[in-house]
Amino acid sequence: MNQPAFRAPKGTFDFVPPRGEAILAVRDAMAEPLRHAGYGYIETPSFEETALFARGVGESTDIVTKEMYSFTTRGGDEVTLRPEGTAPVLRAALENGLHRGALPVKLWYSGSYYRYERPQKGRYRHFSQVGAEVLGTEDPAVDAELIVLAMDAYRSLGLTGVHVVVNSLGSEESRPAYRAALQEYLRGLDLDEDTARRVEINPLRVLDDKRPEIQAALADAPVISDFLSAADRSHHDMVRSLLTDAGVPYRDDPRLVRGLDYYTRTLFEFVHEGIGAAQSAVGGGGRYDGLSELIGGPRLPSVGWALGADRTLLAMEAEGLPLPGRSGVDVFAVPLGEEAARTLFGVVAELRRAGVRADMSVGGRGLKGAMKAADRSGARLAVVIGERDLAENVAQVKDLESGEQQGVALADVLGHVTKRLASPA
C-alpha cells in the first residue's frame, strides 16, 4: 500500500462519516438529560498545570505516574493534557467563584482527554467524554440523580446492556480504618513486587486487580462495608433506595474501586460487555468530598461522573444498534448545463436558508452521473433543470422513491418542496 505521508498519532484515530455523525449524536444524547435537569455548560482548557493533576488525581495513581501527556512550555511552565475532567472543572469553579453563589452548582461538559498508554480496543490515547459534576452538597439525592441521568442517556441511545455497579468507599473519617485493615491483610499475602508496592501506596487499588490468582487471594479480604460509619451507611442506603425508586436497577460490588484517589463515599461505574476484554466501563464516577481542599479550595463536597463517548459508540456497535446521527439531505439538485447550474445554485441557496436540507451536483457531471449522485445522497426529491425547463421557467421535481416527476414554476420550487417534505414519505 502506498503509505500516506502522515497518519494519526499512535493510539488515536479519526471519526469519518458516518461514524463522525454517530459520535456527535452520542455526545448530544449524553448531554440532553443534563440540559433538561438544570445543568450549566462549562468549558475548560485542554491542558492544565501539571500540579493540578498530581495533587488532585493523586501522586500514587497510574494516571499520574505513567499516563500523563506532560511537557514544559517555552516559558518553562509544566503543563499536562488533561487526563480527566473533574479536577479541571473544580479548579475552574473555584477560580470563577461559582461556589460562592447558590449551592449546589450543577455543571456539564464535553471534550477530549488524553492518556499516554499502550492502545487497545476501547482504550486510546485520545478519547472523548461527557461529564457532569454537582458541587457543594452532601445530599445523596444528587449522587442518585447523576446515576439516573446517565442511565437515561444510555437508554436514549438504545443501549440495553449497560449496568450500574455501586459501592461506597466511606468518608474521610471511616476510610482510614478500612485502609489499614486491608493493608494488614494484604501484607500477609505472597505478592509480586509491583503489587506489594501498591499495597503500601494505595492498597484499595489491589482490589481492582483482574488476575485470577490475586482475586482468589482476596477472597477473605476485609470488606469496606464493615467499616462504614453510620453516616456513611445511611448515605449509601439513601442513594440505593433512590435508585430503586427511580426504577434503575443496580448491582452492589464491595470490591469496586477506581483509579483516582479523590473518591469518597459513593462510587459507581457503568459497565458493558461489548467493548473489549480488558475494559468494561463505559462511564463512571463518584463522590469527592475532599478534592476541593486537596487543590487549595474550601471544603466543597461534590459528586460527578464522566461517560466515555467513543466507548459508548463501541458498545452500541457491539449491540448491533444502527449508527445514530443523521446526515444527508432531503433535496438534491441536478443541473443540465452551465446555465441551469447557475440557476440551481440560487435555488439551492434559497432552499437551505429556508431550512431545507439540500445539495446539488457539481463538476459538470452528465445527467446520469448527477442522478446517481442524487440517489446516493438519500434525498427524497430531485430538482432537475435543463435547457427546456429554463426556457419555460420551470423545474422538474422528481420523487426519487416513486419516480414520479412534475414541472413546477421556478418561483414556486421552495413552496412546493417544503409542502412535499412535510407530508410523510
**Rule CB under 7 A: is residue 133 a binding residue for RNA?**
no
**Rule CB under 7 A: is residue 256 a binding residue for RNA?**
no
Q: What would the grid cell of residue 139 be?
A: 445530599
**Rule CB under 7 A: is residue 127 a binding residue for RNA?**
yes
- 158/366 with CB nearer RNA: 366
- The set of residues, in sequence order, having a beta carbon less than 8 Å from that of 266 and lying 6+ positions away, is 140, 143, 166, 168, 235, 236, 239, 286, 287, 303
173 annotated ligand binder: no
Part of the chain binding RNA (CB under 7 A), chosen from 34-42, 137-145, 343-351, 376-384: 376-384
**Rule CB under 7 A: is residue 425 a binding residue for RNA?**
no
Quickly list DSSP for 311-339: HHHHHHHHTTPPPP---S-SEEEEE-SHH
Taking residue 128's Cβ as centre, other Cβ atoms within 10 Å add up to 20
Angle between helices 19-35 and 140-156 (to 10 degrees): 150
Q: How far is the CB of 93 from RNA (least distance, A)?
A: 20
Residues of this chain, 300-329, that bind RNA according to CB under 7 A: 306-308, 310-311
Q: How far is the CB of 103 from RNA (least distance, A)?
A: 25
Tell me, by CB under 7 A, how many residues bind RNA. 77
Contact 302, 315 (CB under 8 A): no
**Rule CB under 7 A: is residue 124 a binding residue for RNA?**
yes
133 annotated ligand binder: yes
Exposed, middle or buried: residue 173 (CB in 10 Å: 0-12, 13-18, 19+)?
exposed
**Rule CB under 7 A: is residue 117 a binding residue for RNA?**
yes
Residue with cell 499516563: 67
Which runs of consecutive H residues, i.e. helices, occur in 175-297? 175-187, 193-201, 212-217, 230-245, 291-294
Part of the chain binding RNA (CB under 7 A), chosen from 21-29, 145-153, 194-202, 349-357: 194-202
Q: What would the grid cell of residue 45 be?
A: 482548557
Residues of this chain, 329-368, that bind RNA according to CB under 7 A: 336, 365-368
**Rule CB under 7 A: is residue 200 a binding residue for RNA?**
no
Strands (E), 63-177: 69-72, 78-81, 105-114, 126-135, 163-168
**Rule CB under 7 A: is residue 388 a binding residue for RNA?**
yes
Part of the chain binding RNA (CB under 7 A), chosen from 20-28, 36-44, 351-359, 373-381: 373-381
Exposed, middle or buried: residue 208 (CB in 10 Å: 0-12, 13-18, 19+)?
middle
129 annotated ligand binder: yes
Of positions 269, 289, 330, 359, contacts RNA by CB under 7 A = 269
185 annotated ligand binder: no
Residue 117 phi/psi, 5-degree rounding, is: -135, 165
Residues of this chain, 45-74, that bind RNA according to CB under 7 A: 61-63, 67
Query: Which positions from 391 to 420 touch RNA by CB under 7 A, shown as an x/- string?
Result: -----x-x-xxxx-x---------------
Residue list for the binding site for L-histidine: 84-86, 115, 129, 133, 258, 262-263
